[in-house]
Chain A
Amino acid sequence: MREFTYTITDAHGIHARPAGLLAETAKRFSSAISVLCGDRTADGKRLLALMSLGARCGDALSFRIEGADEDEAADALLRTCGEVI
């Protein structure tokens, strides 16, 4: 399992566009990907689930990635985080 934490710097938090781009990145991998924010957990491959985290600027997101391609997935997700949130 790979884990990393990313703190949101985008002023608008996880709104539709970044949620979609994160899910799109996550869907490229077979690993199970969950994203935790506070006491909420979302399937990283579902745009709606990511939006329902209600994550705002300054919130820390914890990514948990488990599967055959977890290393590649973690690298790609961290890169996407840096680009969109």
Chain B
Amino acid sequence: MATQNELLAPMDGLLMPLREVPDEVFATGMLGDGFAIAPREDAASVTVCAPADGQIETVADAGHAYTLHTDDGLELLVHIGIDTVTLKGAPFRSLVSAGDRVRAGDALVRADLGAIRAADLPTVTPVLITNPEILSDLSLALGEAEGGVTAAARYRTANREKKGRF
């Protein structure tokens, strides 16, 4: 039995397809399937929240990337901005640690968008499903979104248990 679920937008902003991310590795889907969100241009900072219920698997040393194992088996990567690892944590105040349980909409990190822009880096934030092989269906929303409220993606997962018997 397949189940349908959704991922929430991780911040206020504009949802866009991955291919519009100004970085080839993300845009080509090499790291996984998913979507991206551009924070509002007039926002000086933003709270980034969990797209789904699950457990935090890693928090990058630089505070710019969060991975989450969702309760329904997705492996998610929320990557705030592009090349922001080079900022060594300065714009980011992490609010979670590896191992924490989170609910969809819970705050993960506070990001100083002004500091990212000042470094001349994009603030667009990809949200990737890094194990897309478990999806049987994925549909994405586009346009304005409210962080922690708007469904950015709806998906179904293939029945892994059934497959495992073969």
A residues bordering B, Cβ < 8 Å?
12-13, 15-17, 20-21, 23-24, 46-48, 51-52, 54, 56
A21 and B30 contacting across the interface, CB-CB below 8 Å: yes
Query: B60 to chain A: which residues have CB within 8 Å?
Result: 15-16, 51
Kindly identify which residue among B25, B75, B79, B85 contacts A48, using a CB–CB cutoff of 8 Å: B75
Q: Give the number of chain B interface residues (Cβ < 8 Å).
A: 20
Within 8 A of A (CB), among B34-89: 57-58, 60-62, 65, 67, 69, 75, 77, 79, 85-86
A51 touches B25 (CB 8 A): no
Instruction: Tell me the bound Cα distance from A56 to B62 in angstroms.
Output: 12
Chain B 109-154 interface residues, beta-carbon cutoff 8 Å to A: 130-131
Q: Does B2 contact A (CB under 8 A)?
A: no
Judge whether B25 and A12 touch: CB under 8 Å: no
- Per DSSP, chain B at the interface is mixed
Does B95 belong to the interface (CB within 8 Å)? Answer: no
Are B58's CB and A20's CB within 8 A? Answer: no
**What are 14 contact pairs spanning A and B, CB under 8 A?**
A13-B61, A15-B85, A16-B60, A20-B32, A20-B77, A21-B30, A24-B31, A46-B75, A46-B131, A48-B67, A48-B130, A51-B67, A54-B58, A54-B61
Instruction: Chain A residues near B130: list those with CB within 8 A.
Output: 20, 23, 46-48
Contact across chains for B79 and A47 when beta carbons are under 8 A apart? no
A56 to B60, CA, bound (A): 11
Point out the residues of chain A lying under 8 angstroms from B57, CB to CB.
Answer: 48, 51-52
- Chain A residue nearest to B130 (CB atoms) is A47
What is the minimal beta-carbon distance from B98 to any residue of chain A, in angstroms? 7
Q: Which residues of B contact A23 (CB under 8 A)?
A: 130
Residues of B within 8 A of A47 (CB): 31-32, 67, 75, 77, 130
Give B69's nearest chain A residue, CB to CB: A48
Q: Other CB < 8 Å A-B pairs besides A15-B60, A24-B30, A47-B77, 6 of them?
A: A12-B85, A15-B85, A47-B67, A51-B57, A51-B65, A51-B67
